[in-house]
Chain A
Amino acid sequence: MVSPISIHAPPPEAGCFKPVRRSDELPIDSSRLEAIVAAYSNSPHYLVQILHAVQAAYQCIPPAAQVYLADALGFTPAQVQGVVSFYGFFYETPRQYQVLFADNIIEHFQGKAVLMQHLLDRLGVKVGEVRADGRVCVDNTACIGMSDQGPAALVNGLVVTRLTAARIEQMADLIEAQTPLSAWPADWFTVESTIQQRHFLLSTPFEPGSALRVMQQKGADGTLGELAQAAIRGCGGAGFRLDSKWTICRNTPADTRYVVCNADEGEPGTFKDRVLLQEYADLVFEGMTVCAGVIGARQGFLYLRGEYAYLLDALRAKLAQRRAAGLLGTAILGQAGFDFEIEIHLGAGAYICGAETALIESLEGHRGVPRKRPPPFPVNVGYLGKPTVVNNVETLALAAKALVVGSERFIALGTAQSRGTKLLSISGDCSRPGIYEFPYGVSIRTVLEACGADPTTVQLVQNAGPAGLSLSPAEFDRLICYEDVNTTGALMIFNHQRPLIEVTQNFADFFVHESCGFCTPCRVGTSLVSRLVSKIRHGQGSTADLEELRMLSALIKTTSHCGLGMTATNHIQDSLKKFPAVFQTRLHEERPLHPCFDLDAALSEAQQLRTHASSC
């Protein structure tokens, strides 16, 4: 169950804060910090990476360290604290163990809440609080990309999958015994790549360097021509043509250009990029290198979501391998002047950084607040103001693959406007969750049958995460392609046993948690929506509240600053239209036209405010 929220009463911490004291200091070893900063060339743009390193060293980011970093990097301490407090994975009070449970609705239906409560009880600690002895903090986080093998959690940043009551019991013991993570059962940290169906992209092995050799042979123009033939569209959601993006970037006059691979796969229920990076990293890096060759970039970044930190070592080893093989670094494939390096930047728990301008802000060491709506686009003004191609992991992999296999085979698949194949992350009520590669144009029904979900038992398929499209059974013959059901590659399946109001509440709360807070409609509106859903869910809503939900949904969608706000209420609008019973059956029937009054609830709110005031 979603944690109960009383009607009207805001979560105690909403909008509540205290002045930030920078004087309660832990002993800080400045030489240690100096070494960390030096490892990142004393550059302020690496602030988020530096904060990761500081947290690894001190089990938190101590205020005194923030003062040091500010001084060393040219920020004010308040600015550094602004970055620390923006990202969900950074904290200022030390703890030996940080356990973050994935809070996606899929994990809820897998029994996450009970497991989490069990751990909290065993450790004698409340959600989000650090235990008095500094041992542990247990909290929630948004989907960590493990819906096919949940319930899952992050322990000190590393993924633990397939949680069970027995694992939780043992985890509590390990934490109490202060056992280092390296001595925890190794199989807990296994992340499986459950590839259920392979096609164009995943079916044949990829030989590293093969796409680069095609590029070398065809030249930059020929390569762009081939990619234009393939008509690859970006897999991040917008569907912008890859060749157009690269061409615009290439033609923008500049002394420096950048390639960024967006691996901040944050749409709840999506895990295709995780599998690509785990199993097909060469394809992705090769796609980036091809892009660099075409647009003339010497530097690339893989922006890896913090949840996938477990992939770091393997990815770095892969980069080293490619360097050794002459596929990265200076004079790639022996071609003088073809120099390109790839760095991995680790995100830190912020869904908004999947939005390309927020990602760029984060890469530059800032809070992940999206820039004003384009123009200018990042292909013209991107990282450090230079032309930057930002492509999704899958898009870059497709580019490399299409070059090797040839565009003819690619465009033979799919539909007129959506060529080739699409990776789908499938989770929820089906017998075979995992990754499915289908040509575009496949129907929802075919996908359901392939993954072992009987379409007659399914009441909702949520496409492309909470920001996407909610599909009712009447729509199961719709097709996955840009002409019809546009997808980022996630399908969450819910059968008739699932209470959809819980799905709605979970999605609404997700946006409260992930709104960056910059603009009014998204910052405040998402909280108002969450409270209204909660009110209806508790049987206290009226028809007027439904109207209010409609109004807020339209308002947030229309007036928000960025794509997060513009899509945050899609699920509400879809539910109101396609699943009206979700709300209607819970309205207070006795007085359908008036908000009802519940004396106990009203008093409990006052009580909560009183305790809240005394504690804050």
Chain B
Amino acid sequence: MATEQTIILDGQPVPFQAGQTIMDAALAAGIYIPHLCHNPEFKPHGSCRVCVVDIDGRTLSACTTKAAAGQQIACNTPTLNDHRRAITQMLFVEGNHVCPGCEKSGACQLQAVAYYLEMLGPRFPHFYPSRPVDASHPTVLIDFNRCILCELCVRASDQVDGKQVFSVGGRGINTHITINSPSGLLGDSTLDIHDKAVDVCPVGAILKKHRGYAAPIGQRLYDLQAIDVVGDVALVQEAEHDA
């Protein structure tokens, strides 16, 4: 029976339960597969493609692929890590990510994944899109320049908050998060600072106002420990809230 409940991840047997994805099984076993759009509290999305793994000759996202007994999965390979690094670099040039000036620096999942993947520079020419910062809400700020389109805010607002504050508009390279309010601005929406959607942003796109730099640079989550050790910033935040 034991073999039926096991996948082989980089040569190592990893147990899983029926219905679990490869990502679920890896997380449960304490094995880190780099990811950005995935958050175990939500239905897998599979859009960032950072968690791609090779399964029997196919390259699939670990977060959306169900674990199956005996599956041979290659994850930590030079080629896949090259791909993951390049995808991360794509996200850096697509938006405007100015780490030294970003409040989320040091506790940003995009930055932490980049460090983990040994990204040394942006590699590709920057797109420098002109995107708005929406500071219209009294307690929450959204800076679209830093958005990586993981759609976690869309999912959280819909599935947990029951508000559908966030949506997706446009197509292709013009795809972007939209806000459901008459003015299209956050201040005019039903978003509340205690909403789940505010806490799930893995980057510095959605930020709480009036609490900047609460933890000094150098003492932030990923300043102290790498992401493969400490995990996703949203989950750590949650644990801190609960404590």
Query: Closest CB of chain A to B79's CB: distance in Å?
Result: 9
Cβ-defined contact, B94 with A15, below 8 A: yes
Q: Which of B44-52, B112-120, B198-206, B221-229 contacts A (4 or more CB under 8 A)?
A: B44-52
Cβ-defined contact, A15 with B131, below 8 A: yes
Query: Closest CB of chain A to B39's CB: distance in Å?
Result: 16
In whole angstroms, what is the CA distance A616 to B129 when docked? 9
Query: Closest CB of chain A to B151's CB: distance in Å?
Result: 9
Q: Does B174 contact A (CB under 8 A)?
A: yes
Cβ-defined contact, A521 with B176, below 8 A: no
Contact status of A524 and B164, CB under 8 A, knowing A16-B129, A350-B171, A519-B49: no
- Chain B residues whose C-beta falls within 8 Å of the C-beta of A224 in the assembled complex: none
Q: Does B86 contact A (CB under 8 A)?
A: yes
Cβ-defined contact, A524 with B183, below 8 A: no
Query: Closest CB of chain B to A31's CB: distance in Å?
Result: 22
A-B interface contact total, Cβ < 8 Å:
167
Contact status of A17 and B174, CB under 8 A, knowing A78-B179, A78-B180: yes
Cβ-defined contact, B164 with A86, below 8 A: no
In whole angstroms, what is the CA distance A268 to B204 when docked? 40
Q: Does B91 contact A (CB under 8 A)?
A: yes
Which of B47, B166, B173 makes the CB contact (< 8 A) with A14? B173
CB neighbors of A among B81-128 (8 A): 83, 86-87, 90-91, 93-95, 124-125, 127-128
Q: Does A367 contact B (CB under 8 A)?
A: yes
Which of B52, B124, B174 makes the CB contact (< 8 A) with A559? B52
Cβ-defined contact, B179 with A19, below 8 A: yes
Cβ-defined contact, A531 with B164, below 8 A: no
Q: Does B11 contact A (CB under 8 A)?
A: no
Would you mind naming 11 contact pairs between A and B with Cβ atoms under 8 Å apart?
A: A10-B129, A15-B129, A16-B174, A17-B132, A17-B169, A19-B132, A19-B134, A373-B64, A518-B47, A520-B47, A526-B172
Query: Closest CB of chain B to A514's CB: distance in Å?
Result: 7
Contact status of A81 and B91, CB under 8 A, knowing A519-B48, A561-B46: no
Cβ-defined contact, A23 with B183, below 8 A: yes
Chain A residues at the B interface, C-beta cutoff of 8 Å: 8, 10, 13-23, 76-79, 81-82, 85-88, 350, 367, 372-373, 512-521, 523-528, 531, 551-552, 555, 558-561, 609, 612-613, 616
Contact status of A555 and B86, CB under 8 A, knowing A85-B170, A524-B91: yes
Cβ-defined contact, B180 with A76, below 8 A: yes
B36-68 to A contact mask, C-beta < 8 Å, 1/0: 000000001011111010000001110010000
- Chain B residues whose C-beta falls within 8 Å of the C-beta of A528 in the assembled complex: 90, 93, 124-125
Q: Does B12 contact A (CB under 8 A)?
A: no
CB neighbors of A among B120-147 (8 A): 124-125, 127-132, 134, 144
Q: Does B185 contact A (CB under 8 A)?
A: yes
Which of B60, B168, B172 makes the CB contact (< 8 A) with A515? B172
Main secondary structure of the interface of A (DSSP, over half): loop
Cβ-defined contact, B128 with A79, below 8 A: no
Cβ-defined contact, B83 with A555, below 8 A: yes
Cβ-defined contact, B130 with A613, below 8 A: yes
Cβ-defined contact, A616 with B130, below 8 A: yes
In whole angstroms, what is the CA distance A14 to B128 when docked? 9
Q: Does B182 contact A (CB under 8 A)?
A: yes
Cβ-defined contact, B180 with A8, below 8 A: no
Query: Closest CB of chain B to A535's CB: distance in Å?
Result: 9
Query: Closest CB of chain B to A567's CB: distance in Å?
Result: 14
Contact status of A8 and B125, CB under 8 A, knowing A21-B183, A78-B167: yes
Which of B49, B127, B130, B178 makes the CB contact (< 8 A) with A20? B178
- Chain B residues whose C-beta falls within 8 Å of the C-beta of A524 in the assembled complex: 90-91, 93-94, 173
In whole angstroms, what is the CA distance A82 to B44 when docked? 21
Q: Does B30 contact A (CB under 8 A)?
A: no
Which residue in chain B gives the minimum CB-CB distance to A80?
Answer: B167
Which of A13, A21, A559 makes the CB contact (< 8 A) with B83? A559
- Chain A residues whose C-beta falls within 8 Å of the C-beta of B49 in the assembled complex: 519-521, 559-561
CB neighbors of A among B149-189 (8 A): 149, 164, 166-176, 178-185
Which of A77, A79, A520 makes the CB contact (< 8 A) with B87? A520
In whole angstroms, what is the CA distance A573 to B185 when docked? 44
In whole angstroms, what is the CA distance A86 to B176 when docked? 11
- Chain A residues whose C-beta falls within 8 Å of the C-beta of B44 in the assembled complex: 372
Query: Closest CB of chain B to A295's CB: distance in Å?
Result: 26
Cβ-defined contact, A22 with B184, below 8 A: yes
In whole angstroms, what is the CA distance A526 to B172 when docked? 9
Which of B46, B124, B173, B180 makes the CB contact (< 8 A) with A77? B180
Which of A23, A350, A513, A561 makes the CB contact (< 8 A) with B182? A23
In whole angstroms, what is the CA distance A476 to B84 when docked? 38
- Chain B residues whose C-beta falls within 8 Å of the C-beta of A87 in the assembled complex: 171
Cβ-defined contact, A516 with B171, below 8 A: yes
- Chain B residues whose C-beta falls within 8 Å of the C-beta of A609 in the assembled complex: 128
Cβ-defined contact, A81 with B178, below 8 A: yes
In whole angstroms, what is the CA distance A525 to B166 when docked? 25
- Chain A residues whose C-beta falls within 8 Å of the C-beta of B48 in the assembled complex: 519-520
Contact status of A517 and B174, CB under 8 A, knowing A82-B169, A367-B168, A555-B86: yes
In whole angstroms, what is the CA distance A528 to B176 when docked? 18
Cβ-defined contact, B167 with A521, below 8 A: no
- Chain B residues whose C-beta falls within 8 Å of the C-beta of A88 in the assembled complex: 171
- Chain A residues whose C-beta falls within 8 Å of the C-beta of B179 in the assembled complex: 19-20, 78
- Chain A residues whose C-beta falls within 8 Å of the C-beta of B59 in the assembled complex: 558-559
- Chain B residues whose C-beta falls within 8 Å of the C-beta of A23 in the assembled complex: 182-183
- Chain B residues whose C-beta falls within 8 Å of the C-beta of A560 in the assembled complex: 49
In the complex, which of the residues A350, A512, A515 has the most CB atoms of chain B within 10 Å of its own CB atom?
A515
In whole angstroms, what is the CA distance A561 to B94 when docked? 18
Cβ-defined contact, A10 with B130, below 8 A: no
In whole angstroms, what is the CA distance A525 to B132 when docked? 23
- Chain A residues whose C-beta falls within 8 Å of the C-beta of B185 in the assembled complex: 19
Contact status of A14 and B127, CB under 8 A, knowing A22-B184, A78-B169, A560-B49: yes
Which of A82, A516, A559 makes the CB contact (< 8 A) with B178? A82
Which residue in chain B gives the minimum CB-CB distance to A554?
Answer: B83
- Chain A residues whose C-beta falls within 8 Å of the C-beta of B167 in the assembled complex: 76, 78-79, 81-82
Query: Closest CB of chain A to B209's CB: distance in Å?
Result: 18
Contact status of A82 and B168, CB under 8 A, knowing A16-B174, A20-B184, A22-B184: yes
In whole angstroms, what is the CA distance A514 to B171 when docked? 8
Query: Closest CB of chain B to A414's CB: distance in Å?
Result: 29
Cβ-defined contact, A373 with B60, below 8 A: yes
In whole angstroms, what is the CA distance A523 to B86 when docked? 13
In whole angstroms, what is the CA distance A516 to B132 when docked? 22
- Chain B residues whose C-beta falls within 8 Å of the C-beta of A18 in the assembled complex: 132, 184
Cβ-defined contact, A512 with B173, below 8 A: yes
In whole angstroms, what is the CA distance A13 to B171 when docked? 12
Cβ-defined contact, A523 with B175, below 8 A: yes
In whole angstroms, what is the CA distance A21 to B188 when docked? 11
Cβ-defined contact, A86 with B184, below 8 A: no
Cβ-defined contact, A10 with B180, below 8 A: no
Query: Closest CB of chain A to B62's CB: distance in Å?
Result: 12
Which of B47, B128, B129 makes the CB contact (< 8 A) with A519? B47
- Chain A residues whose C-beta falls within 8 Å of the C-beta of B134 in the assembled complex: 19
